[in-house]
Amino acid sequence: MTIMKKIYSLALLVLGLIATACDPMAKINKELDQKEHPVTKQAEYTLTKSDYSTLASTYIQIKTKDFLGSSQEKKEFESKCKKEVYSLLSQQAFNEKATANLLVPFLLKTKYPEWGKGSIVLIHYNLIAQRSENSKRIQNTDYIELDEATLKQEGFTGIRDFQDGSIEQIATIARKKGAKTETILVKLSFENDSRYVLIDGKLEADKKAFYVMQPEDYKAMSFKHDNFSSSETPDHYLPIFLQKQFPYAKEGSSKVIVYLWYSKGETAPRFSEYVLKNGLWKAVSSIATKSDQFLHNGKEWLFDPTIVLTLGKEDFAILFDYVKNNHPSYVSKNFPANEEFWFGGSGYYRNFNLDGGDTVGPRQEEEGLSPEELQKVKEQRIVEGLKLLLSEKYPGFPAVVNGVDQYYLVNTVVRKNRQNEKRTYRLKGLGNNQYELAK
């Protein structure tokens, strides 16, 4: 009996293998089933230092993949790309070139390979904060050293008292030496003397807006070299330095400090912006934190362009101005400067009031309506008010961004039956400043 059982089991196994072999579509059907019924999940993730490093490499690969040119040109282009991802490596932060929108989808593809259509991941990350115009001006600055021999060859007899055209001449020399950016930090050395000059185009940068750290400044801080480093950080020294350097600066004054930074055998220009607040120089944060949602559309991961808006006093002011110009009789009697009862918006209370109130004039459009009908009209007007508000705040926004429908989540407070309730309205952008209420 034992032998018969073994033969029977073996026969079943063989039949199973034959059945599988006779159905070449089995594997294909399984793959199709996975596509029709994808793994749909949601997650929340904060990028790590390792992620930023990986995405820096990804950025360079993306940019250089289809580059056409000589080997030397490609080398120079790669060097440019490496500068563009510097913030990812040094500060773990995205910037205007290497953006989260571009790079995060590549990370999600690797991290969640089995996730499919409808999957959503909320990503928390760092990015270079919005900078002042002065900071933007010198965001990309090359560093060039001009020694005594070079300066003498060009006719210079010193580096302190320049004649008209001297800065333009220095800028020309620096660009011949390899500087490619509009702004250049130049170190001039002449007869045991040295000086740093920040050049903007063909002129010296505005000294009211920028201060360039000089050899004597570093020396006053007891530095051995003309630079900051990880062991001698700007934020530790510069607030004290600025207090002494500009003792009569007015509250709110700002300065962009340009200096040299040493790391791993290389010296490069950097800058920090400081603002005088309550008598103390405070560094303007260079890093901001942000959270964005990414979704899978069935083919790939994409940045979700949904805009989240929480209504504030300035938003209700936009609605009030519209009502004042188009339905003036609906302006509130008690708060005639910031409240109206067409949309029901109150800048004073920062909410929509469905309970109503006294107005400066009659409400002809509401005459004869039952309480139920009036409530329905008021609810509809809130939505129309939100559409008006979006067209004012985001004029010309497209209906689709990066292959994804543009949605708006508007958070506000609605007062109804003397109770305040928080509401979120979801509107879909249709393009040309048109919107519809979405489910």
* Digit-coded pLDDT (tens) for 117-158: 989 999 999 998 877 889 888 988 999 999 999 999 999 999
- Between 151 and 163, the more confident residue is 151
- Whether this model's pTM surpasses 0.75: no
Report the share of the chain in percent with pLDDT over 90.
78
Indicate whether 252 pLDDT > 80: yes
Per-residue model confidence as pLDDT tens digits over 50-102: 999 999 999 999 999 989 889 999 999 999 999 899 889 988 999 989 999 99
Indicate whether 268 pLDDT > 70: yes
The answer to whether 172 and 183 have CB atoms below 8 angstroms apart is: no
Per-residue model confidence as pLDDT tens digits over 201-244: 999 999 999 999 999 999 999 999 999 999 999 999 999 999 99
- Between 4 and 59, the more confident residue is 59
Q: What is the structure's pLDDT at 8? A: 53
